[in-house]
């Protein structure tokens, strides 16, 4: 990646860090992560920051304008999410001035698992059948087509 583009992105990240409290909180969270993320759901951003979904979408759009990834609107059962162009850990570190390099995501996990808040305010984990099949396929090393899930109630 050309260095001038890299520097523009770094400047945009640091500008968001200085001017946007939500961005600062989320970047600080990213800098402390142990595992990188390739994607982060809007629901997870909203839950992590304790803000509305609309505020989380606004933040994802600001991240996209800064050049650190893409906001993807959920369609056909897929969740709205932010897809990281760079390692979210390195983005958080650059924002706080801890690291001078924006890195590619390495050993990144998909951080788009569903987070909902129940009536009593507790976090509820939700997952679709398609997501469950994909996770089982990866963890068991078998094709998605070989996974069958039956729900009985």
Q: Dihedral sign, CA of 38, 98, 55, 7?
A: negative
Residues 80 and 124 in one domain: no
Residues 102 and 84 in one domain: yes
Residues 53 and 91 in one domain: yes
Give the CA distances from residue 106 to residues 87, 95, 103, in Å, rounded to whole numbers and listed in that order.
7, 19, 8
Domain with 136, as residue range(s), is 118-153
Residues 133 and 66 in one domain: no
SS3 call for 14: helix
CATH code of 32's domain: 1.10.10.10
Q: Is the pTM of the predicted complex or chain greater than 0.75?
A: no
Q: What is the mean pLDDT of each run of 10 residues along the chain (153 residues)?
A: 68 91 92 87 91 93 93 85 90 82 65 45 60 80 88 74
How many domains in the chain? Answer: 2
């Amino acid at each position: 990646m050309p260095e001038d583009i890299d520097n523009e992105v770094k400047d945009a990240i640091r500008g968001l860090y200085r001017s946007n409290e939500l961005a600062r909180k989320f970047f600080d969270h990213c800098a402390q992560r142990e595992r990188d993320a390739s994607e982060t759901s809007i629901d997870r951003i909203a839950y992590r920051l304790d803000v509305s979904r609309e505020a989380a979408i606004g933040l994802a759009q600001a991240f996209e304008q800064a050049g650190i990834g893409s906001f993807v609107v959920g369609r056909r059962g897929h969740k709205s999410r932010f897809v990281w162009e760079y390692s979210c850990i390195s983005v958080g570190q650059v924002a706080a001035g801890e690291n001078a390099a924006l890195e590619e995501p390495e050993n990144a996990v998909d951080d788009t698992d569903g987070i909902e808040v129940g009536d009593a305010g507790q976090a509820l984990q939700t997952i679709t059948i398609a997501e469950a099949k994909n996770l089982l396929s990866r963890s068991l090393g078998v094709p998605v087509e070989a996974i069958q899930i039956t729900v009985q109630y």
